[in-house]
A = this chain, B = another copy of it.
């Protein structure tokens, strides 16, 4: 009797709201994306972002840079966009070539154009529960899904599997800011099932196909799957053994069609947000 959370539908709904709001704007939000090197997956992601931006009526710029670009030249490219008054949001597609220190590049983005919300200054505001309207895309997408389905985190035990800087850590802050009791598990956690079995809200972001089994999940839990792995047979799989877990969960996200579509949706939401802030300021 579980409810399948439809990330595709929620994402679509929010994107349509953004599109409508954008139609009524005199100037248009502009998203600039930097991609360095020839990573095939990155090119697909960047292409999708550009297409979605275009659909919403945003301006968009893609700067394709060579694999062997120096760190300093890459920073210069970011700084050009920092100075460009027509650019409201800057995204540097990760991963960057191995010789580049990603954290240095992220720190070079102006915090008020940092659409991914990866700059230390922006992440700190969330970590310290300070007032902010900018949130990293995947964690923000998960919080939006909970909100859309009327699931409050307050007083619930939220267990996160994974401590990455993109999902696990910032999600733990958002859940804590929303008054959940939060446990972060990871590769060094002993007896993982002891934690997952006690989760009212279980979020897996481990990237291990179907490793969260039915017996690891509490009856009636809300189960959110951030994992996305392509199996040997080419099929996309989440972290959760969906077919077996779904009857035990009260709410569950599928893969694909759960958290995935929310990330790009929140990226566009952030772009509009930065645009509005910019025009409010000036």
Contact = CB atoms under 8 A, between A and B. Distances in A.
Interface of A: 103, 120-121, 123-125, 127-130, 154-155, 157, 163, 165, 169, 172-173, 176, 179, 181-186, 188-190, 194-195, 198
Contact of A155 (B127, B179, B184, B190): B190
Given A157-B190, A172-B184, A183-B183, 18 more contacts: A103-B130, A120-B124, A120-B125, A123-B127, A127-B173, A128-B169, A155-B188, A155-B190, A163-B176, A169-B176, A176-B184, A179-B188, A181-B183, A181-B184, A181-B186, A181-B188, A181-B195, A182-B183
A158 to B, nearest CB: 10
B123 A188 contact: no
Contacts of A198: 194
A254 to B, nearest CB: 27
11 contacts: A103-B130, A120-B120, A120-B125, A127-B169, A169-B173, A181-B185, A181-B188, A181-B190, A182-B183, A183-B183, A194-B198
- Which secondary structure characterizes the binding site on chain A? mixed
A189 B184 contact: no
A188 B129 CA distance: 16
